[in-house]
């Protein structure tokens, strides 16, 4: 009869625990894996110094986090979505259909995106044009569009080392890829003249359609194995470079700063990526990092307001704080962000 | 007849003797030798793979159980740490870890000066303080808040060392790599060497790796498995308590009582199909049913346990049915023959004999569930969780992590020190699995009956 006893006690247990379901007392955060380390650093310090429990921080990518945020209002939905790119109108619409009307947008700072190669390899001094000439699917050559013929970096730009082209770039689901596309491929495409050729060759109805088609063409990377999309995180990119010393990878600045003993960073437009050069706006490839807060949860989930205020406080996000030490480029307009957070100002429509 | 044999020509007799195998026998023998060789080489390959796996995991993971500590006397300045002077823990909480970090910095400097160690003048105060983990300040704060009477005293404090310092003592970080490393300088490491000779720094056993929660990227040295172990244990408890009775009851009914018709056939086929469904599907189901519909919290062991229960049930049902089938019909017939009811025949005679098979199936199902990551991804358990969940049953609803998830989490971190911790977590997971399998073998031996 022990099976019977087991069953009865199991049912009793489930019943007892189901009635004991209680209000959530911890903050739940999900989203971008780029923002994740910063969020964990703040969560840890928050748990140590406040009477509230340490928030639970999940990854899942910027888009995934925003989607989860927009699932609705209530204790079984998350409170904050981390995002390495700005929220999209489609997210806001999804939020609105699920009753999430007021979202606060908080910009925590900027993140640099760097090219880095094996520490013992040659130095790289890249420009967006070089990147496009090496990785674009179709490039301009003698005034005509041809499938990218470059085999080595020296083929793309004679000043670069004669090393076989092998780039590990973030996969399309990463927020980092968007910045890579806009700041490097598109810029490079325009600078090398390929953009104009794409427009000339476009069969679009009007100028806007032609431009759109040209931009889309610019963002196509070669598929002959010289450029590899990495869908995992930076640790995977690092492992690939470890395995193939010819590789050049795209990393976040903070990841590079934690692995300076294995990686050599490339300059872009002659600028070395550092927290300072990005803050000054010299280094061209950077992007803002955000988190989005569901305003309806403030006052319901204990500690939520305190947490977001703590996140953007000078002790954390300021230029001397632990986030800057880890690689976040502090936002020069942090004071305005602090005021917005204190006043619980929801974000307006996207412009 | 005998004439016929005697008249047979000598050529018709077999040409070979028993001592000389003919071509066919040789071929058969050769085939057997080949087969034995293949079998033995398969074993060798399997053992080699296991040895390489264990060697690599143990080689890189055992270090996680030992950690570098800096042992220094700390004077707890009452005026700095208790500004109100009333020893009230609520007031003392106003001093954050930043305040405690300053106390630690002073303590470390004093200890270095006292031992008369040479400090490279290029080292800044921040760099010297950076030898200690940022977690040390939190440890000290917790210790003081728990016992305010420590204020004003000088205590012997063992501060966790920074991950790079720890790597230096473990041989992961060298002076050459430090020269290129933006997080540590050779001058700092030289100071560490001197401190080690003076007895201020040592590698000790680190129980916190087993007991404490996860830690952020900036303090890999403080990251532990406590939350993950508890979370896994809670989930296994839920899986066991739910899936064993449901699974056993379902299989007894299906095997012994259910009429054999199209419906039961269909159920049978579907149970076998369910056992082969990829686990991530159960995660999606769990998200839809338990979180979105029933409103259970995210990241909670209860949801993880329920999802894993769904995943384990088919395994248990199949194992239990096989075990019941293996009980000879004569046992049931004999019981029925002396007047037992059908239920008595099953529960008193068939079930005890099937017990070893049921238990083995259950524990194998549990072990499988223990190592499962994919379904937990969807219900929010692949997360940074630092707070230890409470005692059950409330604890089932607190956020927690799980061991395989923690391994995955550690491997994604940027700091190289997390590689060691990931391997350490794998060791703990393997120990759990070995224990569970050992229990399975023990139970089987104990309950086994032969006839």
Q: Are residues B166 and B231 in the same domain?
A: no
Look at residues B225, B245, B250, B233 and name the one whose alpha carbon lies nearest to residue B385: B225
Looking at residue A271, the DSSP 8-state letter turns out to be: B
Shortest distance, CA A146 to any CA of chain B (angstroms): 39
Shortest distance, CA A221 to any CA of chain B (angstroms): 26
What's the domain range around B267?
Answer: 226-447
Instruction: Give me the total of CB pairs closer than 8 Å, taking one residue from chain A and one from chain B.
Output: 142
In this structure, is the dihedral angle defined by the CA atoms of residues A16, A22, A25 and A28, taken in order, positive or negative? positive
As a whole number, mean pLDDT of residues A307-311 equals 92
Q: How confident is the model at residue A13 (pLDDT cuts 50, 70, 90)?
A: low
B403 domain residue, yes or no: yes
Instruction: Dump pLDDT digits (tens) for B118-167.
Output: 888 888 888 888 899 888 888 888 888 888 888 888 888 899 998 889 99
- More confident: B306 or B16: B306
C-beta atoms of B416 and A7 within 8 A: no
Give yes or no for residue A21 having a pLDDT over 50. Answer: no
Q: What are phi and psi of A68, to 5 degrees?
A: -65, -40
Kindly report the average pLDDT of chain B as a whole number. Answer: 88
pLDDT of residue A16: 47
Q: Are residues B266 and B352 in the same domain?
A: yes
As a whole number, mean pLDDT of residues B91-110 equals 85
B347 domain residue, yes or no: yes
Q: How confident is the model at residue B1 (pLDDT cuts 50, 70, 90)?
A: very low
Instruction: Give me the domains of chain A, ranges plus CATH numbers.
Output: 20-111+288-342 (3.40.190.10), 122-244 (3.40.190)
Q: Are residues B255 and B304 in the same domain?
A: yes
Q: Are residues B237 and B201 in the same domain?
A: no
In this structure, how many other beta carbons lie within 10 angstroms of the beta carbon of residue A41? Answer: 25
Contact A114, A267 (CB under 8 A): no
Q: Are residues B246 and B199 in the same domain?
A: no
pLDDT of residue A19: 44
Give yes or no for residue B10 having a pLDDT over 60. Answer: no
Q: Are residues B126 and B248 in the same domain?
A: no
pLDDT of residue A201: 82
As a whole number, mean pLDDT of residues B441-448 equals 83
Shortest distance, CA B103 to any CA of chain A (angstroms): 16
pLDDT of residue B253: 93
C-beta atoms of A20 and B397 within 8 A: yes
Q: Are residues B236 and B192 in the same domain?
A: no
Cβ of residue B164 closer than 8 Å to a chain A Cβ: no
B54 domain residue, yes or no: no
Which residue out of B250, B414, B416, B421 would a mutagenesis test of the A interface target, given it has the greatest number of A Cβ atoms within 10 Å?
A: B414
**CA atoms of B169 and B171, how far apart (whole Å):** 5
Chain A residues touching B295 at Cβ < 8 A: 21, 74-76
B404 domain residue, yes or no: yes
Q: Are residues B232 and B118 in the same domain?
A: no
Q: What is the DSSP string of B182-201?
A: TT--HHHHHHHHHHHHTTSE
Chain A residues touching B387 at Cβ < 8 A: 26, 47, 53-54
pLDDT of residue B242: 94
B272 domain residue, yes or no: yes
User: The CATH number of the domain where B366 resides is what?
Assistant: 1.10.3720.10
Give yes or no for residue B49 having a pLDDT over 90. Answer: yes
Close Cβ partners of B221 (under 8 Å, ≥ 6 residues apart): B67, B68, B133, B135, B160, B161, B162, B163, B166, B215, B417
pTM score of the predicted model: 0.83
Closest residue in chain A to residue B239, using alpha carbons only: A10
Q: Are residues B204 and B255 in the same domain?
A: no
Domain boundary among B180, B210, B240: B210
Q: Who among A1, A58, A260 is closest to B383 (CB)?
A: A58
Instruction: Dump pLDDT digits (tens) for A27-55.
Output: 999 988 889 999 999 999 998 888 899 99
Alpha helix positions (H), chain A? 2-19, 36-49, 62-69, 89-97, 128-135, 153-156, 175-179, 187-191, 194-201, 207-218, 234-243, 253-258, 275-279, 304-311, 314-317, 322-326, 334-342
**CA atoms of A64 and A30, how far apart (whole Å):** 8
Kindly report the average pLDDT of chain A as a whole number. Answer: 85
**CA atoms of B2 and A342, how far apart (whole Å):** 118
- More confident: B48 or B441: B48
As a whole number, mean pLDDT of residues A226-230 equals 87
Cβ of residue B246 closer than 8 Å to a chain A Cβ: yes
Closest residue in chain B to residue A13, using alpha carbons only: B393
SS3 assignment, position B119? coil
Close Cβ partners of A102 (under 8 Å, ≥ 6 residues apart): A294, A295, A296, A346
Chain B residues touching A258 at Cβ < 8 A: 183, 217, 414-416
C-beta atoms of B414 and A33 within 8 A: no
Give yes or no for residue B50 having a pLDDT over 90. Answer: yes
Highest averaged pLDDT of the listed ranges A172-181, A187-196, B33-42: B33-42
Question: Looking at this predicted complex, what is its ipTM?
Answer: 0.82
Q: Calculate ∠ Cα A330-A333-A336, nearest 5°.
A: 130
**What six digits make up the tokens of A321?**
């704080």
Q: How far is CA A193 from the centre of its chain?
A: 29
Contact B364, B318 (CB under 8 A): no
Looking at residue B327, the DSSP 8-state letter turns out to be: S
As a whole number, mean pLDDT of residues A287-293 equals 91
**What six digits make up the tokens of B311?**
């995943």
As a whole number, mean pLDDT of residues B230-244 equals 93
SS3 assignment, position A297? helix
Q: What are phi and psi of A126, to 5 degrees?
A: -100, 160
Q: How confident is the model at residue B319 (pLDDT cuts 50, 70, 90)?
A: very high
Q: What percent of chain B has pLDDT over 70?
A: 96
Shortest distance, CA A48 to any CA of chain B (angstroms): 6
**CA atoms of B323 and B325, how far apart (whole Å):** 5
B36 domain residue, yes or no: no
Instruction: Dump pLDDT digits (tens) for B418-427.
Output: 989 999 999 9
Q: Are residues B120 and B265 in the same domain?
A: no
Instruction: Dump pLDDT digits (tens) for B362-412.
Output: 988 999 999 898 899 888 888 888 888 888 888 898 889 999 999 998 988
Contact A189, A138 (CB under 8 A): no
Q: Are residues B179 and B310 in the same domain?
A: no
pLDDT of residue A9: 57
Cβ of residue B395 closer than 8 Å to a chain A Cβ: no
Domain boundary among B155, B177, B210: B210
As a whole number, mean pLDDT of residues B72-81 equals 84
Cβ of residue B239 closer than 8 Å to a chain A Cβ: no
What is the number of residues in chain A?
351
Number of domains in chain B: 2
As a whole number, mean pLDDT of residues B243-263 equals 92
B380 domain residue, yes or no: yes
Instruction: Dump pLDDT digits (tens) for A52-98.
Output: 999 999 888 888 889 889 988 888 889 999 998 888 888 899 999 99
B41 domain residue, yes or no: no
Q: Are residues B418 and B394 in the same domain?
A: yes
């Amino acid at each position: 009869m022990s099976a019977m006893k087991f069953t009865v006690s199991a049912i009793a247990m489930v019943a007892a625990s189901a009635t004991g379901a209680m209000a959530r007392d911890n903050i739940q955060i999900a989203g971008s894996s780029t923002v994740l380390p910063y969020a964990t650093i703040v969560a840890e310090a928050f748990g140590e110094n406040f009477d509230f429990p340490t928030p639970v921080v999940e990854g899942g990518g910027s888009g995934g986090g925003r989607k989860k945020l927009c699932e609705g209002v209530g204790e079984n939905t998350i409170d904050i979505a981390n995002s390495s790119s700005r929220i999209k109108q489609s997210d806001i619409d999804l939020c609105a259909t699920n009753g999430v009307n007021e979202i606060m947008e908080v910009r925590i700072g900027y993140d640099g995106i760097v090219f880095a190669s094996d520490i013992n390899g040659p130095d790289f001094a890249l420009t967006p044009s070089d990147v496009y000439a090496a990785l674009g699917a179709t490039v301009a050559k003698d005034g005509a569009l041809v499938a990218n013929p470059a085999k080595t970096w020296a083929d793309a730009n004679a000043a670069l080392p004669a090393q076989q082209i092998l780039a590990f770039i973030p996969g399309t689901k990463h927020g980092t890829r968007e910045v890579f596309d806009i700041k490097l491929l598109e810029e490079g495409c325009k600078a090398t003249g390929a953009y104009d050729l794409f427009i000339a060759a476009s069969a679009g109805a009007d100028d806007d359609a032609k431009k759109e088609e040209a931009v889309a063409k610019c963002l196509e990377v070669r598929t002959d194995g010289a450029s590899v999309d990495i869908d995992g995180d930076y640790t995977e990119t690092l492992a690939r470079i470890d395995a193939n010393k010819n590789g050049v990878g795209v990393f976040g600045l903070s990841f590079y700063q934690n692995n300076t003993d294995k990686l050599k960073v490339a300059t872009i437009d002659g600028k070395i990526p550092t927290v300072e050069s990005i803050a000054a706006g010299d280094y061209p490839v950077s992007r803002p990092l955000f988190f989005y807060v569901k305003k309806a949860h403030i006052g319901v989930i204990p500690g939520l307001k305190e947490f977001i205020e703590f996140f953007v406080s000078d002790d954390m996000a300021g230029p001397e704080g632990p986030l800057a030490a880890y690689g976040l480029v502090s936002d020069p307009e942090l004071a305005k962000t602090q005021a917005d957070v204190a006043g619980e100002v929801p974000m307006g429509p996207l412009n | 007849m005998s004439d016929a044999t005697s008249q047979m020509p000598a050529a018709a007799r077999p040409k070979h003797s028993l001592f000389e195998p003919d071509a066919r026998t040789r071929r058969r023998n050769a085939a057997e030798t080949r087969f034995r060789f293949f079998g033995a080489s398969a074993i060798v390959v399997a053992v080699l793979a296991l040895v390489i796996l264990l060697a690599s995991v143990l080689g890189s993971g055992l270090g996680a159980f030992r950690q570098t500590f800096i042992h220094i006397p700390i004077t707890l300045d009452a005026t700095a740490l208790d500004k109100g002077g009333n020893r009230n823990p609520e007031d003392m909480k106003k001093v954050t870890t930043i305040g405690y970090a300053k106390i630690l910095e002073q303590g470390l400097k004093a200890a270095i000066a006292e031992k008369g160690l040479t400090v490279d003048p290029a080292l800044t105060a921040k760099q010297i303080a950076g030898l200690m983990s940022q977690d040390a300040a939190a440890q000290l704060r917790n210790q003081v808040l728990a016992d305010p009477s420590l204020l004003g005293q000088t205590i012997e404090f063992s501060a966790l060392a920074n991950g790079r310092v720890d790597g230096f003592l473990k041989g992961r970080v060298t002076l050459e790599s430090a020269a290129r490393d933006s997080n540590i300088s050779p001058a700092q490491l030289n100071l560490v060497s001197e401190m080690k000779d003076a007895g201020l720094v040592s590698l000790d056993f680190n129980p916190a790796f087993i007991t404490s929660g996860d830690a952020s990227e900036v303090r890999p040295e403080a990251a532990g498995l406590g939350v993950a172990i508890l979370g896994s244990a809670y989930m296994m408890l839920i899986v066991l308590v739910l899936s064993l009775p449901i699974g056993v009851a379902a299989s007894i009914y299906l095997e012994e009582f259910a009429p054999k018709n199209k419906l039961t056939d269909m159920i049978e086929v579907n149970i076998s199909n369910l056992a082969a469904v990829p686990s991530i599907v159960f995660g999606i189901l769990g998200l839809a049913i338990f979180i979105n519909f029933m409103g259970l919290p995210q990241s909670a062991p209860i949801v993880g346990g329920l999802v894993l229960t769904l995943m384990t049930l088919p395994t248990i049902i199949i194992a239990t049915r096989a075990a019941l089938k293996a009980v000879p019909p004569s046992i049931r017939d004999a019981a029925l023959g002396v007047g037992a009811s059908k239920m008595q025949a099953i529960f008193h005679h068939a079930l005890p004999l099937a017990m070893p098979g049921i238990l083995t199936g259950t524990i194998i199902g549990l072990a499988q569930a223990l190592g499962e990551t994919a379904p937990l991804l969807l219900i929010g358990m692949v997360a940074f969780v630092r707070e230890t969940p409470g005692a059950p049953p409330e604890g089932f609803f607190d956020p927690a992590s799980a061991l395989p998830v923690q391994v995955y989490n550690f491997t994604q971190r940027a700091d190289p020190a997390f590689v060691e911790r990931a391997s350490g977590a794998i060791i703990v997971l393997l120990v759990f699995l070995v224990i569970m399998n050992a229990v399975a073998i023990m139970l089987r031996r104990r309950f086994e009956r032969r006839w």
